[in-house]
Amino acid sequence: MTKTLWLRGILAVLLGGTAVGAAAQEFADRDVSMIVNYSAGGPTDIEARLVAQYLPKHLQGVRSIVVKNVGGAGGAIGVNALGEAKAPERYSISFFTWDPIDQLIANPILHVKYNDLKFIAGFQGVSLVYARSDTPPGLKRPADIAKATLVRSGFLSPTNHATVRQRLAFDLLGVKYESIPGYRGLKDIEIALMRGEINATNNSLPSWYSTIKPNMADKGIVIPLFQYDYDGSDSKSGRSADLPDVMSFSEVHREVKGTVPSGQKWEALQLLTQIMDSMYRTVFMPPNAPPAAVEEMRRAFERLSRDPEFIAAYEKIVTTKPRMIIGARGDTIVQSLGKVPPETLAFFRSYLADAAR
């Protein structure tokens, strides 16, 4: 299977639909654990708690959804906790910001494969990169990042999807940068950026609108550099309708280089963006989850996606509408991780190995 055919397969399933079956009562009289793979108070946790609040009315007889924050190792510890769930926890669900990179490079910190978990739903998302405006010799517009003397970028881990995407983007722009991994959480990165210990980083839309924009961007401390080209955009600019005022990466690249991006690094960046932004947050059940429970949970998310109270609450807090991929459509994307072309796997492993040297 070639990279082109594999990527086309991912895009094709985004146009499909899912079927909704008859009701069941697999969760009656149960307290269902929701494992969140990042710490409390962060964007993943905020969205998870919204879902936990509104999901019970769509699961017949369930007592509660109990959020459990299992952070660490760039989210991998929480993924392992769900993937290694024992029989009593087989009805648990996740709310992850997932990281397919760990599976693509066979990172030993990830003990399970995403395609061995039972996929329930995915929430589409948008990511953007931003930098301090005082990054030497000073940034007035996004293209100025290519003229910076040295950009110190803060990350969770060297292999995190956010790290890899930003590195690929900076490489394509010709930015001189230093990666600073090892921060325990996104709040720690935000504090480091505010203090000037680092110059740049990236985040998802909820964090941008809730904290970064009002606390730093609106005060001139940082400027948005670009959003990753969004495949679901309504225009040719690559901008998401949820972030219309921030340039896309390809727009910035044309301004810096005078050309459209191309080559292996651009293909890798597109691949990660299409996987991550189609399902930035993911809901799974353990490998040993009963099939009937998996189907019932999928139906619950189908109903949740149409719940006007949930939609209004989500839009108020997250600042975008909840756009979900549920059941078979998303499962096709997850299963494709086990079918990635060898040359693509080799590129990612070599790219990350070079960064470790």
Q: Per-residue DSSP letters for 71-98? A: --GGGHHHHHHHHT--GGGTT-EEEEE-
Amino acid 40: pLDDT: 92
Indicate if 115 and 150 belong to the same structural domain. no
Tokens of 98: 């997932």
Amino acid 282: pLDDT: 97
Amino acid 136: pLDDT: 98
Q: Specify the pairing of strand 281-285 against strand 93-97.
A: antiparallel
Return the exposure string of 274-292: e unless at least 16 CB atoms fall within 10 Å of the residue's CB, then b.
bbbbbbbbbbbbbeebeee
Tokens of 129: 């990169």
* Residue 69's CATH number: 3.40.190.150
Q: Across the beta sheet with 281-285, what order do the strands follow? A: 64-69, 31-36, 93-97, 281-285, 118-123, 324-326
Q: Per-residue DSSP letters for 303-357? A: HHTT-HHHHHHHHHHHSS---EEETHHHHHHHHGGGG--HHHHHHHHHHHHHHH-
H/E run at residue 263: none
Indicate if 34 and 75 belong to the same structural domain. yes
Residue 259 exposed, middle or buried by CB count within 10 Å (0-12, 13-18, 19+): exposed
Amino acid 157: pLDDT: 85
End residue of a domain, out of 248, 273, 298: 273
Amino acid 298: pLDDT: 97
Indicate if 115 and 57 belong to the same structural domain. yes
**Domain of 153, in residue numbers:** 127-273
Amino acid 22: pLDDT: 44
Indicate if 265 and 294 belong to the same structural domain. no
Residue 229 exposed, middle or buried by CB count within 10 Å (0-12, 13-18, 19+): buried
Counting the structural domains of the chain, the total is: 2
Long-range contacts of 308-315 (CB under 8 A, 24+ apart): 309/54, 310/50, 310/51, 310/54, 313/50, 313/53, 313/54, 314/47, 314/50
Q: How far apart are CA 99 and CA 103, in angstroms?
A: 8
Rg (CA), the chain: 20
End residue of a domain, out of 273, 297, 320: 273
Q: Which residue has the tokens 């989850």?
A: 289
Indicate if 133 and 228 belong to the same structural domain. yes
Indicate if 225 and 153 belong to the same structural domain. yes
H/E run at residue 220: none
Indicate if 140 and 219 belong to the same structural domain. yes
Q: Which of 319, 322, 189 is nearest to 243 (CA)?
A: 319
Indicate if 266 and 298 belong to the same structural domain. no
Tokens of 264: 């292996």
Q: Which amino acid is at 247?
A: M
Indicate if 193 and 265 belong to the same structural domain. yes
Torsion on CA atoms 288, 291, 297, 300, rounded to nearest 10? 180
Indicate if 327 and 202 belong to the same structural domain. no
Indicate if 91 and 158 belong to the same structural domain. no
End residue of a domain, out of 273, 292, 318: 273
Amino acid 357: pLDDT: 61
**Which residues lie closer than 8 Å to 308 by C-beta, 6 or more apart?**
none
Question: What pTM value is reported for the model?
Answer: 0.82
Indicate if 181 and 265 belong to the same structural domain. yes
* Residue 151's CATH number: 3.40.190.10
Residue ranges in the chain whose pLDDT is less than 50: 14-22, 233-234
Amino acid 119: pLDDT: 97
Q: 215 and 132 in contact (C-beta within 8 Å)?
A: no
